[in-house]
Structure 1
Amino acid sequence: MAHRVSVVGEVLVDLLWKAGASEVVPAPGGSPANVAIGLRRLGRPTTLVTSWGDDPPGTLVAGHLRRAGVPVRRAPGGGRTMLALAYLDAAGSATYDFLAAWDPTGLAVPGDTTILHTGSLAIVVEPGASRVLELCRDLRARPGRAVVIDLNVRPAVQPDPAAYRDACLRFVEVADVVKASDEDLRLLYPGLDAAEAARALLSYGPRLAVVTLGPGGAFAVTAGAEVRVPAPVVAVRDTVGAGDAFQAALLDALAARDPAGDGADRLPLPAGPADLARVLTRCVTAAALTCTRVGADPPTAAELEDALSAGTGSADE
């Protein structure tokens, strides 16, 4: 059985402003939408549960999702589509400012959902964030299901670090797996190194915390282990969507596991350091491939397998 991942969260239009450019280029996306597209390209049954407005940016978003072939449940609510102004520096790294609008109603995932993934603005911007939280609680109460959160911190929507951390921790408390970048953790836990911050997140209940380190690779911590893997060395075009490609590969690996294999109530996670290292290597390779392209353009399953077979990624325990 191919287990379904339902991705719940915002879609938006990025207004891309490159360093030195005089024009702003609109590009449909949003972290949850990028994750759903990444999962679709990996062959994973996927549904995107989201909302957008009946406005020109919404028309752009709708066409983008249709072309990507992602099954969508469009929830009612909200008169306008979210916008993000993305400033791209000379190296292709982006910083963001947002015109945030997240007010979906009647959120629901398909009945065969094994994993519910959410994160980014959808867990911070109200009133939608509280509705997503209730959906996470409902699904996690079902046997063999799991909730996975990507914090993907965007201070522009909540500049108070303590308030942002509190908003995130509501979701961490109902998550089986939480993922963050080292930059996210510096914003949420100033004064702690990334490993300390990851273990602080574990103390709220998740069984696995995964941290991305950009060109430094990634690491993961559980109650009894810590595993690190390096990132493949690639020629970077830009980093847009790299974290979302990583997350899609992580969700695909988790969803490939048999819910019956870990008792009646919990989805099994990677078993031991070697298994976890293999999963992380797959994830950093997916992210690296995305960095070789312009924009959020995650790899297909065949492209990812080819890169792994060629030895693009390796693991250190």
Structure 2
Amino acid sequence: MLVDLVAGPDGRTFTAHPGGGPANAAIAVARLGGRAVLSTTFGDDLFGALVRAHLEESDVDTRMLPSTGATSVAFAATDEHGVARYDFRVSWDVQSIPLVDGAAFLHTGSLAAAVAPSAVEAAMRAARAAGTPVSLDPNIRPTLAGRPEVARARFERQAGLADVLKVSEEDLEWLYPGTDPVSRAESLLILGPRLVVLTRGPRGALAVTTALAVERPAPAVDVVDTVGAGDAFTAGLLSVLARREVPLGRLDETTLGDALAVATTVGAITCSRAGADSPRADELGAVAALLDRGPASG
């Protein structure tokens, strides 16, 4: 959980938006009608009050972890296409992360996985041991990732602890320069995930398992910025997978296609707004019905 300070056109005026990868995902899940529990930390300061109010407004069940730090801040500036670049001031000294009983997924990634990998990886192992599927979005931020070879080793170790792995073309280009992103995404299944999802910006997304490959386009929108769009995408994906209750080892083309349709729509709508402002279920149009479809039969 952090605050994104997004630069205006003049490059000198900043607007504060609550953010942080897993926090954005938790908020998006809750706005889509699911229950989201966020284990996190932020300071007893002005930005902390801002993010706490934001979480409460979206009905996120927030569990505070022991910490002595201030609220983390990310300075963001966008290019002419609305794509953000970041500069971070991060305080995240978490030592352990307790699991939540009955969760459909444990989702993690982004700064948490880079700054406190030992605590995050211990939680991932504990979740898998308890039978809870693990979702990972590395959301690589070069300014915090460290040397590429170190970041690549960390990513591959964490990917091996994940059941669902969501990566962007930008992630893969930074981790594996010059390689074809589709081929690389398919090869990541070797590390252990049962589902790998590649986001491709305006070209939509591709989901691959050892048995299936499913693509869906992204809805066309006027992009304001891309802040939080990948997190919103992940929330849409996990929301459908959780509600369908299809074991990840038996995913079918319909379930994956519906999950991608919801995910790309949620991500696109977020791109049409300033900051990580994901939509509610009643803003999804026709794809909202895919959220309400119950568990698969058979």
- For normalisation by structure 2, the TM-score amounts to 0.91
- Could you tell me which amino acid in structure 2 is paired with residue 58 of structure 1? G
- Could you tell me which amino acid in structure 2 is paired with residue 29 of structure 1? G
Instruction: Indicate whether 1:133 and 2:121 are aligned.
Output: yes
State the alpha-carbon separation in 1 of the partners of residues 58 and 288 from structure 2.
Answer: 26
- Could you tell me which amino acid in structure 2 is paired with residue 104 of structure 1? V
1:314 match: none
State the alpha-carbon separation in 2 of the partners of residues 255 and 275 from structure 1.
Answer: 11
Cα deviations across residues 85-144 of structure 1 (Å, max 9, x unaligned)?
A: 10122332210011122211342132121210001011111xx2211110110111123x
CA pair 25-270 structure 1, distance change in 2 beyond 3 A:
farther
State the alpha-carbon separation in 1 of the partners of residues 256 and 238 from structure 2.
Answer: 13
1:83 match: 73
1:115 match: 105
Contact 1:114 1:255 in 2 (8 A): yes
1:55 match: 45
State the alpha-carbon separation in 1 of the partners of residues 271 and 145 from structure 2.
Answer: 28
> How many equivalent pairs are there?
289
Cα deviations across residues 56-95 of structure 1 (Å, max 9, x unaligned)?
A: 3222222222222211000011322211110122332210
Instruction: Indicate whether 1:32 and 2:22 are aligned.
Output: yes
Contact 1:40 1:70 in 2 (8 A): yes
State the alpha-carbon separation in 1 of the partners of residues 17 and 258 from structure 2.
Answer: 33
Contact 2:281 2:288 in 1 (8 A): no
For residue 236 of structure 2, the aligned residue among 249, 261, 264 is 249
For residue 271 of structure 1, the aligned residue among 236, 251, 254 is 251
1:308 match: 287
2:260 match: 280
- What secondary structure does 1:237 align onto? coil
Aligned residues: CA RMSD:
1.8
Contact 1:285 1:307 in 2 (8 A): no
Contact 2:134 2:163 in 1 (8 A): yes
For residue 226 of structure 2, the aligned residue among 239, 244, 254 is 239
State the alpha-carbon separation in 2 of the partners of residues 244 and 158 from structure 1.
Answer: 18
- Structure 1 alignment gaps of length 5 or more: 1-10, 262-266, 311-317
Post-superposition offset of 1:49: 0.5
Post-superposition offset of 1:285: 1.1
- What secondary structure does 1:165 align onto? helix
Post-superposition offset of 1:16: 1.0
Cα deviations across residues 226-281 of structure 1 (Å, max 9, x unaligned)?
A: 221111112222222211111100111121133xx6xxxxx435633333222211
CA pair 78-203 structure 1, distance change in 2 beyond 3 A:
farther
- Could you tell me which amino acid in structure 2 is paired with residue 212 of structure 1? T
Report which of the two has the higher share of helix. 2
State the alpha-carbon separation in 2 of the partners of residues 269 and 81 from structure 1.
Answer: 39
Which deviates the most, 111-120 or 236-245? 236-245
- For normalisation by structure 1, the TM-score amounts to 0.86
State percent identity of aligned pairs. 44
State the alpha-carbon separation in 1 of the partners of residues 196 and 5 from structure 2.
Answer: 31
1:213 match: 200
- Structure 2 alignment gaps of length 5 or more: 290-298
Contact 1:185 1:194 in 2 (8 A): yes
- What secondary structure does 1:79 align onto? coil
- Could you tell me which amino acid in structure 2 is paired with residue 248 of structure 1? A
State the alpha-carbon separation in 2 of the partners of residues 193 and 284 from structure 1.
Answer: 21
